[in-house]
């Protein structure tokens, strides 16, 4: 019994990580109706960037100090600027033309990123050593325990979503995001520069993606070619949860995580497959996801 509870908890917390993966994607889906095929690779890039940034702080024996961890902030900022620039100077040129172009450009980008990382970092897996953080667990008694890092990740996911929901509901920028997502042409009539807004949305998505990448690489070893798998999990989480709803994305991530955890508990090789099968099941039964909010024109 305790084993199954542990599996469930593991799945829930894994879902937190997947929700974090998915939030960035959900933003670009929701606001720009665009699929960023390079999304997973950006997660990996952020992870590798974090490893490089932290290398000097971890060079000595023992764990890094608090100040050392601040080195991660530039990674997040850099990723935000990268995605902002990507949208503003490259992807904005493809929007509105046809559905294929943004997809193809980001696919090309994905291949570029993967191979560039292979060249720079070689095919080895890397991990960000967070010392005690990575292995500490809270023992709740009766054989049930919660990993500290997974819990932190899940809390970050919730925190990010709460913050983003606040931005959407209560700020002028958030209102502009919602308007431009509803109707980009009419939004222009209000004086909203849709290109600039898309770029800002991608910048925010980039920052969230960077956080996801950092938390990922603290928890598991990552190889340069691990991006596409992350993209698929993110995508599945968004679709399961329903387009246009950040809380839906959280739910989708959690469901995916739980499905994978249960699958893996039954047989180690079936974990990821179980997640895919659940995604397909939701697709067949509820094509709009479980909590859809966007009306697709």
Site residues (CB under 8 A) for another protein?
34-35, 37, 90, 93-94, 97, 99-105, 107-109, 111-112, 115-116, 118-119, 172, 175-176, 178-179, 181-183, 185-194, 228, 231-232, 235-236, 239, 267, 269-270, 272-273, 276-277, 279-280, 283-284, 287, 293, 295
Which residue number, 9 or 282, has a Cβ lying nearer to another protein?
282
| Least distance between another protein and beta carbon 20 (Å) | 19
**CB of residue 212 to another protein, shortest distance in Å:** 18
Nearest to 208 by CA among 85, 116, 77: 77
Residue 1, number of CB atoms within 10 A of its CB = 8
**Nearest distance in Å: CB 116, another protein:** 6
How far separated are the first and last CA of the chain, in Å rounded?
47
User: Cβ contacts of residue 156 below 8 Å, gap of 6+?
Assistant: 16, 20, 211, 215
Least Cβ distance, residue 217 to another protein (angstroms): 22
199/231 with CB nearer another protein: 231
For residues 198 and 32, is the Cβ–Cβ distance under 8 A?
yes
- CA distances 157 to 14, 151, 161, 208, 283, Å, are 11, 10, 6, 9, 24
For the bound state, the minimum distance from the C-beta of residue 85 to another protein, rounded and expressed in Å, comes to 14
239 within 8 A of 294, measured Cβ to Cβ: no
Query: Between residues 124 and 141, which has the closer beta carbon with respect to another protein?
Result: 124
**CB of residue 251 to another protein, shortest distance in Å:** 18
Cβ proximity to another protein, 20 vs 109, nearer residue: 109
Whichever of 15 and 227 has its CB closer to another protein, that residue is 227
Which one, 74 or 108, has the nearer CB to another protein?
A: 108
In the bound state with another protein, the residue whose beta carbon lies nearer, of 139 and 185, is: 185
Minimum distance, C-beta of residue 102 to another protein, in the bound complex (Å) = 7
């Amino acid at each position: 019994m305790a084993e199954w509870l542990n599996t469930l908890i593991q799945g829930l917390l894994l879902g937190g990580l997947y929700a974090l993966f998915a939030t960035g994607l959900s933003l670009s889906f929701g606001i720009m109706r665009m699929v960023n095929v390079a999304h997973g690779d950006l997660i990996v890039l952020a992870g590798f960037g974090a490893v490089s940034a932290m290398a000097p702080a971890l060079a000595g024996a023992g764990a890094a100090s608090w100040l050392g961890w601040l080195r991660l902030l530039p990674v997040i900022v850099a990723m935000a600027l990268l995605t902002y620039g990507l949208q503003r100077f490259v992807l904005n040129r493809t929007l509105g033309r046809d559905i294929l172009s943004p997809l193809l450009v980001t696919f090309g980008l994905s291949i570029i990123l993967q191979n560039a990382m292979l060249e720079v970092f070689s095919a080895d897996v890397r991990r960000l050593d967070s010392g005690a953080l990575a292995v500490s667990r809270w023992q709740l008694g009766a054989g049930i325990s919660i990993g500290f890092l997974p819990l932190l990740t899940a809390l970050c996911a919730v925190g990010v979503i709460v913050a983003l929901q606040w931005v959407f509901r209560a700020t002028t920028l958030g209102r502009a995001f919602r308007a431009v997502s509803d109707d980009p042409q009419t939004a222009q009539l209000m004086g909203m520069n849709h290109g600039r807004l898309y770029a800002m949305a991608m910048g925010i998505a980039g920052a969230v993606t960077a956080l996801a990448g950092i938390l990922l690489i603290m928890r598991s070893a990552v190889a340069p070619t691990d991006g596409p798998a992350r993209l698929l999990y993110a995508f599945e989480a968004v679709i399961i949860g329903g387009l246009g709803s950040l809380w839906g994305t959280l739910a989708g991530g959690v469901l995916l995580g739980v499905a994978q955890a249960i699958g893996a508990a039954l047989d180690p090789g079936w974990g990821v497959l179980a997640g895919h099968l659940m995604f397909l099941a939701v697709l067949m039964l509820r094509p709009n996801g479980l909590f859809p909010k966007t009306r697709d024109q």
